[in-house]
Amino acid sequence: MKPGLLIDWPAARYPDATAVVFEGERTSFREFDARVNRLAHGLRTLGLARGARVGVLLPNRPTCMEIFFATQKAGLALVPLNARHGAAEHAWVLEDAAAEALVFGREFAETVGAVRTRVPGLRTVLAADGGVPGALGLGDLALGQPEAEPDVDVGEDDLERIHYTSGTSGRPKGVVITHGQSCHRLLQILINLDQPIGPGDVNLNVGPLTHAAGLMFTAYYVRGATNVILERFEPETVLAAIERLRVTSVLLVPAMLVRMLRMPGLERYDLRSLRRIWYGTAPMPLGPLREALRVFGPIFRQNYGMSEASQPLTFLGPEDHVVDGPAEVVRRLRSAGRPALGVDLRVVGDEGKPVKPGEVGEIVYQSRHMFREYWRRPDETARAFRDGWFLSGDLATVDEAGYVYIVDRKHDLIISGGFNIYPREVEEAILRHPGVAEAAVVGVPDEEWGEVVKAVCVLKAGARASADEIVAVCRERLAGYKKPRIVEFVPELPKNAYGKVERRRLKETRGGT
Amino acid sequence: MKPGLLIDWPAARYPDATAVVFEGERTSFREFDARVNRLAHGLRTLGLARGARVGVLLPNRPTCMEIFFATQKAGLALVPLNARHGAAEHAWVLEDAAAEALVFGREFAETVGAVRTRVPGLRTVLAADGGVPGALGLGDLALGQPEAEPDVDVGEDDLERIHYTSGTSGRPKGVVITHGQSCHRLLQILINLDQPIGPGDVNLNVGPLTHAAGLMFTAYYVRGATNVILERFEPETVLAAIERLRVTSVLLVPAMLVRMLRMPGLERYDLRSLRRIWYGTAPMPLGPLREALRVFGPIFRQNYGMSEASQPLTFLGPEDHVVDGPAEVVRRLRSAGRPALGVDLRVVGDEGKPVKPGEVGEIVYQSRHMFREYWRRPDETARAFRDGWFLSGDLATVDEAGYVYIVDRKHDLIISGGFNIYPREVEEAILRHPGVAEAAVVGVPDEEWGEVVKAVCVLKAGARASADEIVAVCRERLAGYKKPRIVEFVPELPKNAYGKVERRRLKETRGGT
């Protein structure tokens, strides 16, 4: 099978349309596809075997897209690295994946130097921007290579990428995605659109393109739409880009949306080109979501996904974002939506049977776009599947209409004195305190209770609160056993690149109340 | 993998919406899915092995849809039979496919009796409507079976169906479609929509549901739209159904459209609900297409496909249906559109290289939804593929913008005195004669020239024309060697169920000029 079957299409259909905009520079589909093909040919000259792993350590730049497509066309497997991590974490991932090559941006030259000494199997390092001693320049690699796609036979079961889990708990695991699964991921997005993507669309990419959620850009690319890339998130930059480039679609994590809503002068921007705001990857607080609906209009779509099967697993469409209406309808704003077409997703009890509406169970699913295995971890892979169903580890309830409400991660569940405590419930109680901006709750070991609740709080600028007050707001609303035994105040919560709180780091207690 | 991954979705999402309308009776998705599941369980009780072939001989009825989904869920392979064929043809196909069961409608009871004596391997015959001695009733088979989907493990490479080619040339060949390919067929339709299909859609099925083109109903079904089924085409019935049931979509073959346009009182029907008219399967004459655009509006979409890869291989969208404009744009009305997303389709010369714009070549393609092989015909399968490309046998040209113009079937090409003659070109010349309603041109063996052109004409009601006049209109417009040497007048052309002329039968010459 020809690897570029979907991604070649826009270059043939819309050769002169703009594929990518970055720092004011526009690249057409014809030009972009030619760059990808030259790069794919260049990668083939490195003598890597079919399915060999190529690490990528890049900030948000067009090179992220190019290397993503080029490795596909060259029959190599991509290993995206999290730009926020350090040399030790990169080395760990590259070693685990047995990567043989690494593409990196200029700002990571020093880090890559440290990584190389730790990963002897890394034969080739490629400087995306050139000019790094000891590293081959990506431009030199592609120079003079043919503009036609290389003749590579890639099967549906060949490795397309290994995406490491964000590692908010334990060591990251390599999520293995085949070409067949990757193709279905793309199809999965396209068939679930309530509004087709077309050449008139302009998609703004402001979260990391190398994250599983960032791969949304592929759906826009293959349909001939323009992808705008911003290197980092700043509310002003995003708003200005929407206005200037007539952006129609953007994927935002809740924290970004909240910062945009707080921007003074927000109303001065012309945002009428926006037709879709996708959000997800972390819970969206209800207050800001209502506010966002008022400001941006009924254009919100929520996708639920994970590295093991990126969005959409469930989908909450614009018609589900009802602010005024019957309670059972407005309540859906708190949900992640209903299962997407192509996914069989259920919330089941311990014995594998679907739970009744309102009961907590684990989300399990089957889908052609879900991953194949955890890289070289047969035991963890075996534990993750039951009769072909992937056990997601996410706890949820469903309502009568099939909407799925994420309760918490299964392994974040705190068991104290034999009782189940869902951190999110405690966090929501703490957020009732007027001085608290953010709160995260974890379980820490305790000799008497097994585990006890620890709350880590970030206060609003200028606000004050005591540990006793935090405990008091919890007692007001929750059963006694759910109240925090340890309360800590910190200037900010540790988060990964997509705004997800790194709970593992919160367990490393620094003091107590 | 769960076989019902896509087809189960609407029953969960829109249980109370109408899935099917037939003769005034509405069936909800919940009910329809339960019927399918009961039937699938029933089929499993027959003791057929995974992938065993089940023939289907039915007129257009909901049972066609039920059995299509039920065999999928039961892990059996469907063999749709052409309702217009006779016992000998059915027996040939069932024997070739080594079918073990056959589902048939009441009107075929006698035919099936004759078929059984010829096909000893046919262990079970199932009367769709019951009441046939010696046949098990389909209702009895499903009676008391569970409403949940059977627990069947079906892989992507398992047989989903064998669709026999219409056999307009030579013996029909069994086109083998796997579950993976069938899934991609459905995805292929959905990702190429310029307007998403949704629960508000009402799709009218008037061509045979068991034909490869008739399978379009699946795209509507999985997205929660309603499928209306008509047992046969009558212009009045179709127009009345559109008005009464607020039909939004319909697939018509050109002959149907022509008959509708000729209907007295056409303008009295309220057809404003229509948003899409799909057409294809045979060339659409330009005159009626212009007329249809005027009457129905800019809602036409053309799909090009074949049993080996059903629609869409290429797609001509509403924006391509330009009646007034520059010649190079209006010309596109004669094209089959441009390659669909997901298909790599090229027009190549004998050496496999893409032809220049305007040059005639053969359409070859790769797609995840194309068939795997011709059933038990390894030699024909080997001849049909070159380096992974399927050689379609359709001759075409492309223009600068990538539009594909079908010229003719490769094996319909007439070679006379060493010159290539494309039947369609001669047919178009003959149609210039004011008395000719339809014309078909074939090559017949000739000692001197190798082959000579034979024209078979159908005159308009009350019109007259002589063989000499037919030859004269050809000489006016074509090179001398292209003129017909034999001209025949017939009351109607032999056509298959989808209006395609059966050229093979035209070669059986009855007389001469």
Domain boundaries, chain B: 27-186, 233-409, 413-507
Q: What is the pLDDT of residues B53-73, one digit of tens each?
A: 999 999 999 999 999 999 999
Using a CB-CB distance cutoff of 8 angstroms, which residues of chain B are in contact with residue A2? 344, 366, 388
Write down the pLDDT at residue B168. Answer: 54
Could you give the angle at the alpha carbon of A161 between the alpha carbons of A156 and A165, nearest 5°? Answer: 130
Instruction: Provide the shortest C-alpha distance from residue A141 to chain B (in Å).
Output: 28
Using a CB-CB distance cutoff of 8 angstroms, which residues of chain A are in contact with residue B195? 196
Q: Hey, is the C-beta of A400 within 8 angstroms of any chain B C-beta?
A: no
Q: Which of B338, B341, B390 to mutate to test the interface with A (most CBs of A within 10 A)?
A: B341
CB-CB contact of B251 with B279 (8 Å): yes
CB-CB contact of A443 with A416 (8 Å): yes
Q: Hey, is the C-beta of A342 within 8 angstroms of any chain B C-beta?
A: yes
Alpha carbons B118 and B112: distance in angstroms, whole number = 10
> According to CATH, what is the number of the domain B27-186?
3.40.50.12780
Alpha carbons A42 and A47: distance in angstroms, whole number = 10
Over the Cα atoms of chain A, what is R_g? 23
Of A6, A342, A402, the CB nearest to B341: A6
Of A2, A223, A402, the CB nearest to B13: A402
**B9 and A194 in contact by Cβ < 8 A?**
no
Write down the pLDDT at residue B512. Answer: 42
Q: Hey, is the C-beta of A270 within 8 angstroms of any chain B C-beta?
A: no
Is the sign of the CA dihedral B292, B298, B299, B305 positive or negative? positive
Using a CB-CB distance cutoff of 8 angstroms, which residues of chain A are in contact with residue B193? 196
Instruction: Provide the shortest C-alpha distance from residue B321 to chain A (in Å).
Output: 17
Alpha carbons A365 and B12: distance in angstroms, whole number = 15
Of A1, A9, A195, the CB nearest to B341: A9
Residues in chain B: 513
**B367 and A12 in contact by Cβ < 8 A?**
no
Tokens found for residue A326: 């019957």
Tokens found for residue A357: 């509406």
Is the sign of the CA dihedral A267, A269, A271, A273 positive or negative? positive
Using a CB-CB distance cutoff of 8 angstroms, which residues of chain B are in contact with residue A341? 6, 9, 222-223
**A1 and B388 in contact by Cβ < 8 A?**
yes
**B342 and A196 in contact by Cβ < 8 A?**
no
Of A193, A342, A388, the CB nearest to B6: A342
Alpha carbons A7 and B149: distance in angstroms, whole number = 36
Alpha carbons B226 and B241: distance in angstroms, whole number = 13
User: Which residues fall within 8 angstroms of residue A267, CB to CB, at 6 or more apart?
Assistant: none
Residues in chain A: 513
CB-CB contact of A336 with A310 (8 Å): no
Pick from A109, A107, A103: which is nearest to A80 by CA?
A: A103
User: Which residues fall within 8 angstroms of residue A74, CB to CB, at 6 or more apart?
Assistant: A40, A41, A43, A44, A150, A152
Q: Is B317 left (phi over 0), alpha (psi -120 to 50) or beta?
A: beta
User: Which residues fall within 8 angstroms of residue B201, CB to CB, at 6 or more apart?
Assistant: B220, B223, B225, B226, B248, B249
**A344 and B198 in contact by Cβ < 8 A?**
no
Q: Hey, is the C-beta of B223 within 8 angstroms of any chain A C-beta?
A: yes
Q: Please give the C-alpha separations between residue A453 and each of A418, A432, A434, in angstroms, as whole numbers.
A: 13, 17, 21
Using a CB-CB distance cutoff of 8 angstroms, which residues of chain B are in contact with residue A8? 344
Alpha carbons A39 and A74: distance in angstroms, whole number = 9
Q: What is the pLDDT of residues B101-140, one digit of tens each?
A: 999 999 999 999 999 999 999 999 999 999 999 999 999 9
Model pTM above 0.80? yes
Looking up tokens 């020093």 gives: A110
Say which DSSP state A410 is in. G
Q: Please give the C-alpha separations between residue B274 and each of B213, B216, B291, B297, in angstroms, as whole numbers.
A: 20, 17, 16, 9
Alpha carbons B50 and B71: distance in angstroms, whole number = 10
Alpha carbons A166 and A500: distance in angstroms, whole number = 9
Write down the pLDDT at residue A512. Answer: 42
ipTM of the complex: 0.86
Instruction: Provide the shortest C-alpha distance from residue A365 to chain B (in Å).
Output: 11
Instruction: Provide the shortest C-alpha distance from residue B113 to chain A (in Å).
Output: 41
Which CATH code of 3.30.230.70, 3.40.50.12780, 3.30.1490.100, 3.20.20.80 fits the domain covering A28-186? 3.40.50.12780
**A198 and B194 in contact by Cβ < 8 A?**
yes
CB-CB contact of A233 with A60 (8 Å): no
Of B5, B191, B343, the CB nearest to A190: B191
Could you give the angle at the alpha carbon of A10 between the alpha carbons of A128 and A238, nearest 5°? Answer: 60
Q: In the structure, what pLDDT confidence band is assigned to residue B511 with cuts at 50, 70 and 90?
A: very low
The 10 Å CB-count burial string (b at 16+, else e) for B206-231 is bbbbbbbbbbbbbbbbbbbbbbbbbe
- Per DSSP, the three-state class of A161 is strand
Query: Which CATH superfamily, name and number, covers B233-409?
Result: ANL, N-terminal domain (3.40.50.12780)
**A2 and B342 in contact by Cβ < 8 A?**
no
Q: Do domains A28-186 and A233-409 have the same CATH topology?
A: yes
Alpha carbons A192 and A84: distance in angstroms, whole number = 32
Tokens found for residue A139: 């431009």
CB-CB contact of B413 with B432 (8 Å): no
Burial of A303 (0-12, 13-18, 19+ CB in 10 A): buried
The CB density around residue B356, as the number of other CB atoms within 10 Å, is 12
CB-CB contact of A6 with B367 (8 Å): no
B409-424 mean pLDDT? 84
Identity at B347, one-letter amino acid code? V
Task: List the beta strands (DSSP E) in B424-507.
Answer: 436-446, 450-459, 486-489
Q: Which of B368, B385, B389 to mutate to test the interface with A (most CBs of A within 10 A)?
A: B368
CA B390: distance to chain centroid? 19
Instruction: Provide the shortest C-alpha distance from residue B29 to chain A (in Å).
Output: 15
The CB density around residue A353, as the number of other CB atoms within 10 Å, is 10
Using a CB-CB distance cutoff of 8 angstroms, which residues of chain A are in contact with residue B222? 341
Q: Please give the C-alpha separations between residue A78 and each of A47, A374, B4, in angstroms, as whole numbers.
A: 16, 15, 32
Alpha carbons A223 and B193: distance in angstroms, whole number = 11
Q: Hey, is the C-beta of A474 within 8 angstroms of any chain B C-beta?
A: no
In sequence order, what are the beta bridge partners of B303? B280, B315
Alpha carbons A316 and A302: distance in angstroms, whole number = 5
B411-415 mean pLDDT? 84
Tens digit of pLDDT at every position of chain A (513 positions): 677 889 999 999 999 999 999 999 999 999 999 999 999 999 999 999 999 999 999 999 999 999 999 999 999 999 999 888 889 989 999 999 999 999 999 999 999 999 999 999 999 999 999 999 999 999 999 999 999 999 998 999 999 999 998 655 567 899 999 999 999 999 999 999 999 999 999 999 999 998 888 899 999 999 999 999 999 999 999 999 999 999 999 999 888 898 999 999 999 999 999 999 999 866 677 888 999 999 999 999 999 999 999 878 999 999 999 998 999 899 999 999 999 999 999 999 988 999 999 999 999 999 999 999 999 999 999 999 999 999 999 999 999 999 999 988 787 888 888 788 888 889 989 999 999 999 999 999 888 888 899 999 999 999 999 999 999 999 998 888 899 999 999 999 988 766 778 887 888 755 444
Q: Hey, is the C-beta of A344 within 8 angstroms of any chain B C-beta?
A: yes
Instruction: Provide the shortest C-alpha distance from residue B124 to chain A (in Å).
Output: 33
**B183 and A368 in contact by Cβ < 8 A?**
yes
Q: Which of A190, A319, A372 to mutate to test the interface with B (most CBs of B within 10 A)?
A: A190
Q: Which residue of A has its CA nearest to B388?
A: A1
Instruction: Provide the shortest C-alpha distance from residue A180 to chain B (in Å).
Output: 10
Instruction: Provide the shortest C-alpha distance from residue A153 to chain B (in Å).
Output: 10
Could you give the angle at the alpha carbon of B436 between the alpha carbons of B432 and B439, nearest 5°? Answer: 90
Say which DSSP state B20 is in. E
Of B338, B342, B368, the CB nearest to A13: B338
Write down the pLDDT at residue A511. Answer: 46
Task: List the beta strands (DSSP E) in B253-328.
Answer: 276-280, 300-306, 309-316
CB-CB contact of A39 with A66 (8 Å): yes
Q: Which of B190, B191, B301, B398 to mutate to test the interface with A (most CBs of A within 10 A)?
A: B191
Tell whether the model's pLDDT for residue B282 goes beyond 70. no
Instruction: Provide the shortest C-alpha distance from residue A223 to chain B (in Å).
Output: 8
Tokens found for residue A285: 């607080």
Using a CB-CB distance cutoff of 8 angstroms, which residues of chain A are in contact with residue B185? none
Alpha carbons B138 and A80: distance in angstroms, whole number = 54
Using a CB-CB distance cutoff of 8 angstroms, which residues of chain B are in contact with residue A222? 341
Which CATH code of 3.30.342.10, 3.40.50.2000, 3.30.300.30, 3.40.50.10860 fits the domain covering A413-507? 3.30.300.30
Interface size A-B, in CB pairs within 8 Å, comes to 70
Could you give the angle at the alpha carbon of A475 between the alpha carbons of A473 and A480, nearest 5°? Answer: 155
CB-CB contact of A358 with A426 (8 Å): no
Pairing of strands B419-421, B373-374: unpaired
Q: Hey, is the C-beta of A30 within 8 angstroms of any chain B C-beta?
A: no
Q: What is the pLDDT of residues B154-175, one digit of tens each?
A: 999 999 999 998 655 567 899 9
Q: Hey, is the C-beta of B200 within 8 angstroms of any chain A C-beta?
A: no
Q: For B85-97, give the secondary structure using H, E and C.
A: CCHHHHHHHHHHH
**A388 and B1 in contact by Cβ < 8 A?**
yes
Write down the pLDDT at residue B449. Answer: 84
Is the sign of the CA dihedral A83, A87, A92, A94 positive or negative? positive
Of A2, A191, A368, the CB nearest to B191: A191
Q: Hey, is the C-beta of B130 within 8 angstroms of any chain A C-beta?
A: no
Q: Hey, is the C-beta of A341 within 8 angstroms of any chain B C-beta?
A: yes
Of B9, B222, B402, the CB nearest to A12: B402
Tokens found for residue A323: 């602010």
Q: Hey, is the C-beta of B17 within 8 angstroms of any chain A C-beta?
A: no
Alpha carbons A54 and A72: distance in angstroms, whole number = 11
Pairing of strands A343-348, A361-367: antiparallel
CB-CB contact of B392 with B362 (8 Å): yes
Q: What does pLDDT average to over chain B? A: 92
What element of type H or E holds B467?
helix B467-477
